[in-house]
Structure 1
Amino acid sequence: MSQSDTLFDYKHIWHPYSSMINPIPCYSVVSAKGVYLKLTNKKNIIDGMSSWWSAIHGYNHPVLNRALKKQIKKMSHVMFGGITHPPAIALCRQLIELTPKKLDCVFLSDSGSVAIEVAIKMLIQYWQSLGQKRKQFLTIRNGYHGDTFAAMSISDPDNSIHQIYNNLLPNNLFADAPVSSFHKKWQKSDLISFKKIIEENSLKIAGVILEPIVQGVGGMNFYHPAYLKKIKKLCDNYSIPIIFDEIATGFGRTGRLFAFEHAGVIPDILCLGKAITGGTITLAATLTSRHIADTISISQAGCFMHGPTYMANPLACAVANANIKILKTNKWKIQVSNIEKQLSKNLLPLIHYPYVVDVRVLGAIGVVECSHLANVFLMQKFFVENGVWIRPFKKLIYIVPPYTISVAQLNKLTNVITQAVNNRSLFI
């Protein structure tokens, strides 16, 4: 990238969660292949983030590329209102086949946040159809569900990146987050807060929404499957639908195809995104039951009131179909299992380092929680200079590598993390 391009980017382009006055410098990527990102200076760095959880098979995968090329010769996009097309039909068939039998109605949208908005609107309209004006949602603290308004309203109001919008957002209900971790003993006390809120507000709650097992940006916490099972039972007791946000965890990331499988429960609405296209094009899906879909359809409106311009984009649907066909070979199970073993071996010993307070591993997710905030600018610079791409967040250094990563490449990632947590100058 030329000096003029670098300066233009710095002055005019707003990057995620970035200041326009004093932005953190960006690294220019000119191409990507396998697990490597190639920078302008021709340096190759290993991507430990899978482009925010999405590029599960790495970059420039031949099967995914072929699907895109084949589809673009036919049409890149067509409106979905009053029109349908084979890629969308094939994708919805596959999604229904992959998910529990109960989830047999699919709404395709164009991003994870929108999939959450769709789920929320579905339940508001569902209750309207039943003659009830339920608008509040119940969730747990430390959650994150996206950056659009309804999604922000169900993300942690005090400990999240959306705190500055609190006065503008709908007033939802937040129970204490569970403290029983995935690999430790289940504590019944985890349920007290949630049980109290649902009992006192059962006639006001439109739905419950959770990130199953893994809470993402809110803290990268892995909670006990028993908690999810108990929550589902409470929801059933009070006939309150439950939404599972699997946008980050879906398609194998936790070692199961979907994280809710760890608890053996089934949601009433399921939101999918990120890895659905293997990290190629944005796409998301919201799946629900026939009962909820039919109830919405007999509402005063007579239909579900939502319709993104690029929903069911044929290119995205075509590559999502190819991605799911790769997953159906089940190689991901072995890949993720091997990654989990290697992350456990390499990262768990870091608990003994002075700036580390906890280390967590589940499937192809590794988290090192530190006692001090990361200096994002210095730490990213350190990572890039050492040949890896890892984006720290607050006190967390975490990796979600592509499933296709090799033993040597993963060792490189964990070795550089080890060096980072041993370097006080990289923290605030």
Structure 2
Amino acid sequence: MSLKDRDKKHLWHPLKQHQTHPDSLAIVKAKGCILTDEDGNDYIDAISSWYTSMFGHCHPYITNKVSQQMQQLDQIMFSDFTHEPAVKLSEALIDILPEGQNRIFFNDNGSTAVEAAIKMALQYYFNKGEKRSTFIAFENGFHGDTFGAMSVSGLSVYNGPFENFLMKIHRIPVPDGKNTSEILSKIERIISSESIAGFVYEPLVQGAAGMKIHSAEGLNDILKFFKKHNILTIADEVMTGFGKTGKNFASEYIDTKPDIICLSKALTAGLVPMAITSCTEAIYKAFLGDTIGKGFMHCHTYSANPVACAAALATIDLLQSEEIQKNIRHISESHKMFQKKIEEHPKVKSVRNLGVILAIDLNTTANRYGDLRDKLLAFFMENGVFLRPLGNTIYIQPPYVIKDEELHKIYDVIQDALLTL
């Protein structure tokens, strides 16, 4: 019996309606940018498996570092102990994180990184004797699937059944370069009647919304406003972090830096799960005191897992290498050339690019999980490219190690797909 058929007996896949889409493709091998299924077919991983495997699958430098660590120390609880990989990773991260970050808290995934950030913000004010229970977030943002992360997310396709159970959130538009004054006026009205604990945002690029890119200058003005009014700012860099936007972190494009940053996905290059919530020293100090209750009573069993730390350390080494930085610049330039080639296509509404991210909005409307998305996904896979459209948006976010011929095959298959519409 094939893996695909065995899968149907017991497994429940995420983001999937099994009644209408019962099959799942069985992948048996991944190397570099290539995924291989159980029938021997190859696919270029054009989205780095949800933006995680940015250095390619099974990168030998990362796997060797992880293998060495597995033979030295595999797992130890982090509440009462520490270890070299965690200490070394904290030092390496602080060296490359945006200015102001000084404390590292370990989590398991992107959602829990955001969840911890929300709890940090709430308890920060609680410890100071202030009751603040409301957050501000962008419209159409996505921050994860745990309850706090769902609350600050704005895509109801994921959160619909849970809307009545979520925290109170005020939503504001993303800055487009023209609407900043209107956004600031709206924020001012909100904070005049609400005690706001924090502003949660995806810096510059809203991933799940369709790789929507907003104004760095406008975002900077918004962040300055929150800082002025003593409201914590929480940057969700789970998708944007570790080089995808052309800089190590999207927050580097913005002068005003966040108080808290959430990291995951490419943090460990897709090898093992891990996430981090970093913060300023001022936030950390608000949790110090004589009683245990003032501390941050939040924990994950696999916090600072040594093997995951080893993967993250290897990832940072690669990110800082001249080879990878050169590749990032090259991919970005290639995207720009393809953008010029395709943006006048009659089936294309708009194209945008930042770093290794390229997004194409088709000149049509479509549901996120509708017929158009299914048709495009099937076409891409039949032609050996794994692209996962978001409604009428096709986006590319390839591994940094992609070869020119692989990258241009992605472009060619997208152009061929437009002929089928």
- TM-score, normalised to structure 1's length? 0.93
- Aligned residue number for residue 264 of structure 2: 273
Take 1:307 and 1:399, find their aligned partners in 2: how far apart are those partners? 35
Distance apart, 1:55 and its partner CA: 0.8
In 1, are the aligned partners of 2:210 and 2:395 still within 8 Å (CA)? no
Judging changes above 3 Å, is the alpha-carbon distance between structure 1 residues 350 and 161 closer, same or farther for their aligned structure 2 residues? farther
- Aligned residue number for residue 107 of structure 2: 109
Q: How does 1:356-367 map to 2 (within 5 A)?
A: 356-367=348-359
2:208 is equivalent to residue 217 of structure 1: yes
Q: Which moved more, 1:46-55 or 1:338-347?
A: 338-347
Q: Deviations over 1:218-269 (max 9, x none)?
A: 2311111101210111012101110111110101000011101112221100
In 2, are the aligned partners of 1:142 and 1:219 still within 8 Å (CA)? no
Q: Deviations over 1:252-309 (max 9, x none)?
A: 0000111011122211001111101111111111111111111122396121010011
- Aligned residue number for residue 310 of structure 2: 318
Take 2:74 and 2:87, find their aligned partners in 1: how far apart are those partners? 16
Q: Deviations over 1:167-213 (max 9, x none)?
A: 111111101222x2xxxxx32x2341343224432551001111001
Take 1:135 and 1:345, find their aligned partners in 2: how far apart are those partners? 47
- Aligned residue number for residue 239 of structure 1: 230
Take 1:144 and 1:60, find their aligned partners in 2: how far apart are those partners? 28
In 1, are the aligned partners of 2:351 and 2:361 still within 8 Å (CA)? yes
- Aligned residue number for residue 277 of structure 2: 286
Take 1:16 and 1:350, find their aligned partners in 2: how far apart are those partners? 33
Distance apart, 1:421 and its partner CA: 2.1
Take 2:61 and 2:71, find their aligned partners in 1: how far apart are those partners? 16
Return 5+ residue gaps in structure 2 as ranges: none
- TM-score, normalised to structure 2's length? 0.94
- Aligned residue number for residue 9 of structure 1: 7
1:334 to 318, 323, 326: 326
1:36 is aligned with what amino acid?
A: I
In 2, are the aligned partners of 1:249 and 1:259 still within 8 Å (CA)? yes
2:182 is equivalent to residue 192 of structure 1: yes
Take 1:346 and 1:274, find their aligned partners in 2: how far apart are those partners? 27
Partner of 1:59, secondary structure, is coil
Distance apart, 1:16 and its partner CA: 1.8
- Aligned residue number for residue 396 of structure 1: 393
1:415 to 400, 404, 412: 412
Aligned length: 414
Distance apart, 1:33 and its partner CA: 0.8
Distance apart, 1:376 and its partner CA: 3.5
2:384 is equivalent to residue 387 of structure 1: yes
Take 1:25 and 1:297, find their aligned partners in 2: how far apart are those partners? 52
Distance apart, 1:422 and its partner CA: 2.2
RMSD in angstroms over aligned alpha carbons? Answer: 1.7
1:152 is aligned with what amino acid?
A: M
Distance apart, 1:11 and its partner CA: 4.2
Partner of 1:161, secondary structure, is helix
Q: Percent identity?
A: 35
- Aligned residue number for residue 168 of structure 1: 165
1:386 is aligned with what amino acid?
A: N
Take 1:320 and 1:312, find their aligned partners in 2: how far apart are those partners? 10
Take 1:24 and 1:336, find their aligned partners in 2: how far apart are those partners? 37
2:389 is aligned with what amino acid?
A: P
In 1, are the aligned partners of 2:199 and 2:233 still within 8 Å (CA)? yes
Judging changes above 3 Å, is the alpha-carbon distance between structure 1 residues 233 and 368 closer, same or farther for their aligned structure 2 residues? same
Judging changes above 3 Å, is the alpha-carbon distance between structure 1 residues 321 and 240 closer, same or farther for their aligned structure 2 residues? same
Take 1:161 and 1:395, find their aligned partners in 2: how far apart are those partners? 17
Q: How does 1:226-265 map to 2 (within 5 A)?
A: 226-265=217-256
Judging changes above 3 Å, is the alpha-carbon distance between structure 1 residues 76 and 191 closer, same or farther for their aligned structure 2 residues? farther
Distance apart, 1:412 and its partner CA: 0.4
- Aligned residue number for residue 40 of structure 1: 38
Partner of 1:90, secondary structure, is helix
- Aligned residue number for residue 183 of structure 1: none
Take 2:189 and 2:74, find their aligned partners in 1: how far apart are those partners? 49
Q: Which moved more, 1:218-227 or 1:208-217?
A: 218-227
In 2, are the aligned partners of 1:128 and 1:134 still within 8 Å (CA)? yes
In 2, are the aligned partners of 1:36 and 1:44 still within 8 Å (CA)? yes
Take 2:199 and 2:310, find their aligned partners in 1: how far apart are those partners? 32
2:143 to 142, 145, 168: 145
Judging changes above 3 Å, is the alpha-carbon distance between structure 1 residues 293 and 284 closer, same or farther for their aligned structure 2 residues? same
Partner of 1:206, secondary structure, is strand
Take 2:188 and 2:242, find their aligned partners in 1: how far apart are those partners? 30
Q: How does 1:350-361 map to 2 (within 5 A)?
A: 350-361=342-353
Distance apart, 1:153 and its partner CA: 0.4
In 2, are the aligned partners of 1:355 and 1:372 still within 8 Å (CA)? no
- Aligned residue number for residue 369 of structure 1: 361
In 2, are the aligned partners of 1:25 and 1:377 still within 8 Å (CA)? no
Take 2:322 and 2:136, find their aligned partners in 1: how far apart are those partners? 35
Take 2:12 and 2:185, find their aligned partners in 1: how far apart are those partners? 42
1:200 is aligned with what amino acid?
A: I
Partner of 1:125, secondary structure, is helix
Q: How does 1:84-99 map to 2 (within 5 A)?
A: 84-99=82-97
